Chain A
């Protein structure tokens, strides 16, 4: 009976309570993203091994992790990992969230790294070989300076996607905003108000960042898009 209408009073009561979870949600997001960015390199290196069976296996493992629900992967780490023979240890909810979502997102981030490296023109590789550059010089001065900038907006996009995915960790009792909202909701029978606050917080934080990244994307495209350069040159010729 009590919960069947909207109440601004409960809304303002719930607000500070839900907001308490924000540090956890943001903290989990940042830690998970750092983990995923590091783990992404593992996939990158594994996929660069020039052996057909290895390449094939790695590709399908990545596909498996990417196309199965992250919530089940989290439950696996939280509920099942402690009973895995030999390597099983009990993990804190925070560790489960970081490892589970981190590995899930690392498969996407590994692909971003790969696309960055592949975007460097073939001529650049050949030129660095022709100039007799050492392996480290080639990567440090030729390939990476060109491969990294176009990946930055893509990584930003995945950071926002991750931020919106982090609320599912409430199911393994990571005390972020959604967990706090559910607790408040069950104590006061005020789910709507509390959940609306969660939605508002997510929206307020993710929308401006998305706009920012869209701008960054446009900037990077005009800076690194080869066609844009050609268009620029042609403009000069015709006018």
Chain B
């Protein structure tokens, strides 16, 4: 069995699902990260506590449990027939990694020296301006390497969506394996290489982000 002519075309059928889930859940988790990260820093106690609850629940349990749970709970909670599993996969991965990333957002904002925000206040900036022009531009470069790392984790997480019946790369690989038992090792290795090729750009972007984060910072 030839890995390039026989296995790869089969796996490519799941390529779209894996990539769209990765992109959609990455965007969703970034949005969640900024919302939750900023809410954690808010003056409103209720907002802070509520976001803290969300973060601890999603960080304290595992992705596979959340995925299964949402798969069964969403139709009941919202009293709708099963929406597409694609959406459930995106929601589960996005909420899970959004919780992790919100701590990155919070940590980076808190790590900006207090003199910066004091200076901004002294310049008579509003709190929005202070965040937008002083704190955020400095915090965001510290977040970038961690965002890269967690995006690689998300890619690893997308393999789980085949468990709720989505047809991603892993699903097609596993289907092939079940009909070609003798070639199982080769098929799985090709599947792993598929994921690794998807991870490569993320690995390089993360390294790039690390060097940007280090550059020009007095330490």
Q: How large is the interface on A (under 10, 10 to 19, 20 to 34, 35 or more residues)?
A: 35 or more
CB closest chain-B residue, reference A210 = B60
B13 at the interface (CB under 8 A from A): no
Instruction: Report the nearest B residue to A77, measured CB to CB.
Output: B188
Asked if B188 and A79 make an inter-chain contact with CB atoms under 8 angstroms apart, the answer reads yes
On chain B, the residues within 8 Å of A165 by CB distance are 62
Q: Is B141 an interface residue (CB 8 A)?
A: no
Q: 1/0 per residue B185-204: CB within 8 Å of A?
A: 10111011001100100110
Chain B binder among A128-136, A196-204, A231-239: A196-204
- Closest residue of chain B to A83, judged by CB? B184
A195 in the interface (beta carbon within 8 A): yes
Contact A206 B60 (CB under 8 A): yes
- Nearest residue (CB) in A for B173 is A72
Cβ contact within 8 Å between B62 and A167: yes
Q: Tell me, rounded to whole Å, the shortest Cβ–Cβ distance linking A201 to chain B.
A: 9
Docked Cα-Cα span, A64 to B156, in Å, equals: 12
Does A5 sit within 8 A of B, measured CB to CB?
yes
Cβ contact of A76, chosen from B61, B66, B159, B188, cutoff 8 A: B188
Q: How far is the CA of A154 from the CA of B59 in the complex (A)?
A: 17
* Cβ contacts under 8 Å, A202 to chain B: 60-62, 65
Binds A, one of B23-31, B36-44, B67-75, B129-137: B67-75
Task: Render A159-187 as a binary contact track against B, CB cut-off 8 A, 1 for contact.
Answer: 00000110110110000001000100100
Knowing A67-B155, A192-B69, A192-B72, say if A167 contacts B195 (CB, 8 Å): no
Smallest beta-carbon distance B39→chain A, Å: 20
Would you call A81 an interface residue if the criterion is a C-beta within 8 Å of the partner chain's C-beta atoms? Answer: yes
From B69, B155, B177, give the contact of A80 (CB < 8 A): B177
Min CB–CB distance B163 → chain A (angstroms): 7
Residues A206-228 near B (CB distance < 8 A): 206-207, 210
Interface size of B as a range: 35 or more
Is A69 an interface position by the 8 A CB rule? yes
* CA of A30 to CA of B156, assembled, Å: 23
Q: Within the complex, which residue of A3, A5, A67, A206 is in contact with B195, where a contact is CB–CB below 8 Å?
A: A67
Count, A-B residue pairs, CB within 8 A: 111
Closest Cβ of chain B to A72, distance in Å, is 6
Find chain B residues with CB under 8 A from A3 CB.
72
Measured CA separation A207–B65 after assembly (Å): 16
Please measure, in the bound complex, the distance between the C-alpha atom of A192 and the C-alpha atom of B68, giving whole angstroms.
Answer: 9
B159 touches A72 (CB 8 A): yes
Contact indicator B196/A64 (Cβ below 8 Å)? yes
The residue on B at minimum CB distance from A81 is: B185
Assembly CA distance A167 to B62 (angstroms):
8
With contact pairs A80-B187, A84-B185, A168-B160 given, residues A68 and B196 touching in the complex (Cβ less than 8 Å): yes
24 example contacts (A-B, Cβ-Cβ < 8 A) are as follows A4-B75, A64-B196, A67-B196, A67-B203, A68-B192, A69-B155, A69-B158, A69-B160, A71-B170, A72-B170, A72-B191, A75-B174, A79-B177, A80-B184, A83-B181, A164-B60, A178-B65, A192-B76, A195-B65, A196-B69, A198-B61, A199-B69, A203-B61, A206-B61
B binding-site residues for A, Cβ under 8 Å: 56-57, 59-62, 64-66, 68-69, 72-73, 75-76, 152, 155-160, 163, 170, 173-174, 177, 181-182, 184-185, 187-189, 191-192, 195-196, 199, 202-203
Which residues in A have some Cβ–Cβ distance to B below 8 Å?
A: 3-6, 63-64, 67-73, 75-76, 79-81, 83-84, 88, 164-165, 167-168, 170-171, 178, 182, 185, 191-192, 195-196, 198-199, 202-203, 206-207, 210
Not counting A72-B191, A168-B64, A168-B160, a sample of 10 additional A-B residue pairs whose C-beta atoms are within 8 angstroms of each other reads: A63-B203, A79-B177, A80-B177, A80-B185, A83-B182, A165-B62, A182-B68, A195-B68, A203-B57, A206-B60
Closest 5 CB pairs of A and B: A69-B159, A80-B184, A67-B199, A164-B62, A203-B60
